[in-house]
Structure formats: structure tokens, C-alpha cells
Amino acid sequence: MIDQFGRKITYLRLSVTDRCNFRCTYCMSEDVSFLPKKDLLTLEELEIICSVFINKGIKKIRISGGEPLVRKNIIQLFERLGKKLNNSNLDELTLTTNGSQLKKYSSYLYDAGVRRVNISLDTLDEKKFHLITKKNNILSVFEGIKAAQNSKLKIKINTVVLKGINDDEIDDLILWCGENKFDLTLIETMPLGDTDILRSTNYLSLSKVKKELMKRWTLEDINFSSGGPAKYSIIKEANIKLGMITPMSNNFCSGCNRIRVTCTGKIYMCLGQNNSIDLKKALRSKQSYRSLENLIDQSIIEKPKKHNFTTAEFSGSSIIERTMNITGG
Ligand code: SAM
Ligand code: SF4
């Protein structure tokens, strides 16, 4: 699948639920209303969508959400998709999770074929964790991380850098990741949907963060790609890879290889645009496979050149109607 700007689309991010057990302030409002469960596609339907995408050239699938591991019986989807590894175009099956359910699920994920996991953790401090997630269970995340290590899953930590909240903790996170042999990716907060806080309060450009880090750490830029938008350096002293995802300060859309599908079956061709294509009706029609293929082809034609959000939206309403838990990070 090659779009009109010559970009090869090989990476599908699938949001399997909009629900979450955390309420990260940059992601959703504390009193968020989730979709009625009847609106969600079944796991079988999500698998069909993945199969069509795989046949059309998708090599990597990341399961996301909301919190993917709070969806009932989600391991069944991992098991079914895992069977497609090595005998289809699919090379990698992975997920992004807040880590809180990994104690229960790590070994099942490994058995299903998952080898790498992105765990989102913005702080190592219990009080700050509550400030950011509005929940008190940092211990469940640490236990989940331990379980993932024990199950031999390779871990990358994702941290959204928030001015005045965790920007003083990046050195500690680097040290902690170094001790545990985790890579670390820092992310700029994006204006995706409106939440309870104005994003201007916490936005920090990662180019500034990098300059600060270079005063204390030896950063060597490398030409590594994990298939996503991060630009990587090695931090010599900690011996880890440091990724930086900079949608705001350094647009990376020219290299975009991604397409997203929500738990209700909507394709979003760009995280930072509102246009979408709905697969649900086609999925439930008689000629479903052919109709799905046609709609996917259409989505590739309509994939926008780049996202439209700017830091101007940080002080007001977002132009994007949905929050990150709908589209999947
Ligand atoms: N619940 C899982 C988790 O937190 O890892 C998966 C879904 S979450 C939406 C995926 C990623 O998006 C997380 O790393 C989260 O920090 C990030 N995220 C959520 N809202 C964001 C925003 N407005 N700007 C930047 N990153 C955001
Ligand atoms: Fe939940 Fe992930 Fe959003 Fe935090 S970032 S509220 S963990 S979906």
C-alpha cells in the first residue's frame, strides 16, 4: 500500500477499546464517558480487519487503546493474530500498555508471539503518578514491569514530558531505564481532543529537553528505527537508546508508515486529522472481504500529507474531535 506521497504503509495501530483504568490528564477528562459496549466490534471482527490489512501489506500491528489489556478476553485476539506471524506478511505483533495488567497477562502475551512491549510510565514517584493518572496504583505498574521482564518481553518505556510535573525527573528515568536495560522514548504532549487541562500548561518542546540532557549525558544520534516516528540517540553512560517523538517541534509526517483503526471500526489515516472511513457496515455486509479491501484502498488514497495541529491549539480548543484513547497511541 503506497499513498499519493510515495509513503509505504506497513504499520497498523489498532485501538481495541476506548476504556481505561487510568485518567492521564493529557489523554482524557476525569469524568470521561466511554462508548457503549454494544458499539464495539467483536474480537472476531477486529481479527478480520487485521487479516485484510495483513493481506494488503501490513507487516506490524500494535494493539493499543484506551488500555488494551482491560478489554475482556483480549488475549484471544493476540493468540489469533500471533498465529499469523511467520506465515503471512505479519512480522511483528506488539502493544502499548499502561502496564497495570501485565502481572496477569505477560506470559500469555509472550506465548502468543509478542516479543516487545511499550509501557507508558511518566514518573517513578507515587505522588506525581497520582497527579498525572488520577489513580494510586503505581505499584501495579511496577509489578507489571517485573512480570514482563520475567516473561522475557523486551521493554521500552514511553514518557510524555510534562513541564513542571516530570521534566525534573528525566535523569532519574534514564538511570532507572539503564539499570533495567529498558530503552526510553520521550513524547511531546499533543493537542488531541479537549481534556480538563489546557495543554499549554504542561507542553515542553523536546528540542529544549535534548539540549538540557546534552549538558549531562553523552548522546550519540543513531540511524535506528523501531518502525515508528521516534528519532533515536544512544545515551552512552546509561547504555540505552533514547527515542524522541516530536510531533509539535519537528514534524515527522514525511516518513509516516502508519494507519489506525478504532474499536468501532473507523480507519483514521492520520492521528492529527479528523477524516475517517467507517468499516463497520462493510464488515457486516455479504461481500465483506472485497468491500473492506476497497475501503482500505480508499483510505490509502485519502491519507493526508501531514497533521494539522499546532502549538496554537494548546491555549484553546483542539481541532481534533477525539482524544488519544479513541484512536490509540
Ligand atoms: N493505555 C495505553 C498506554 O497508556 O500506554 C495505550 C494507549 S495510550 C493512548 C498510548 C500512548 O499515548 C501513551 O504512551 C500515552 O502516554 C500517549 N498519549 C496519550 N495522550 C497523549 C497526548 N495528548 N499527547 C501525547 N501523547 C499522548
Ligand atoms: Fe489510559 Fe493510556 Fe490514556 Fe493514560 S494514556 S488515560 S493509560 S489510555
Predicted pLDDT of residue 197 = 85
Q: Determine whether the shortest distance from the Cβ of 23 to ligand 2 is under 6 A.
A: yes
Compute the mean pLDDT over every residue in the chain, rounded to the nearest whole number. Answer: 93
Domains of the chain: 11-164+256-327 (3.20.20.70)
Predicted pLDDT of residue 327 = 82
Q: Determine whether the shortest distance from the Cβ of 273 to ligand 2 is under 6 A.
A: no
pLDDT in tens, 169-206: 999 999 999 999 999 999 999 888 888 888 788 899 99
Protein residue closest via CA to atom 19 of ligand 1: 27
Predicted pLDDT of residue 320 = 79
Predicted pLDDT of residue 313 = 64
From the CA of 287, how far away is ligand 2's center (Å)? 36
From the CA of 215, how far away is ligand 2's center (Å)? 32
If one residue of 70, 123, 140, 187 were mutated to test the ligand 1 pocket, choosing by the most ligand atoms within 8 A of its CB, it would be 187
Which ligand sits nearest to residue 30's alpha carbon? Answer: 2
CB-based contact 329:68 (threshold 8 Å): no
Q: Determine whether the shortest distance from the Cβ of 24 to ligand 2 is under 6 A.
A: yes
Q: Determine whether the shortest distance from the Cβ of 22 to ligand 2 is under 6 A.
A: yes
Q: Determine whether the shortest distance from the Cβ of 28 to ligand 2 is under 6 A.
A: yes
DSSP-assigned letters across all residues of 92-134 = EEEEEE-STTHHHHHHHHHHHT--EEEEE---S-HHHHHHHHS
Give the separation between CA 229 and CA 227, rounded to whole angstroms: 7
From the CA of 131, how far away is ligand 1's center (Å)? 16
Dihedral over alpha carbons 184, 189, 192, 196 (to 10 degrees)? 120
Three-state DSSP at 218 gives: coil
Of 75, 66, 133, nearest to 102 by C-alpha is 75
Average pLDDT over residues 202-213: 94
pLDDT in tens, 253-267: 888 999 999 999 999
Predicted pLDDT of residue 315 = 66
Predicted pLDDT of residue 295 = 97
Q: Ligand 1: residues within 6 Å at CB?
A: 20, 26-27, 64-65, 67, 96-98, 120, 158, 160, 187, 189-190, 192, 324-325, 329
CB-based contact 319:308 (threshold 8 Å): yes
Protein residue closest via CA to atom 8 of ligand 1: 329
Average pLDDT over residues 14-31: 96
| Share of residues in the chain with pLDDT > 70 (%) | 98
Average pLDDT over residues 107-122: 98
pTM: 0.96
Q: Determine whether the shortest distance from the Cβ of 17 to ligand 2 is under 6 A.
A: no
Which ligand sits nearest to residue 318's alpha carbon? Answer: 1
pLDDT in tens, 123-156: 999 999 999 999 999 999 999 999 999 999 999 9
Average pLDDT over residues 166-171: 97
Q: What would the grid cell of residue 66 be? A: 484506551
pLDDT in tens, 75-110: 999 999 999 998 999 999 999 999 999 999 999 999
Predicted pLDDT of residue 328 = 77
Q: What would the grid cell of residue 200 be? A: 499549554
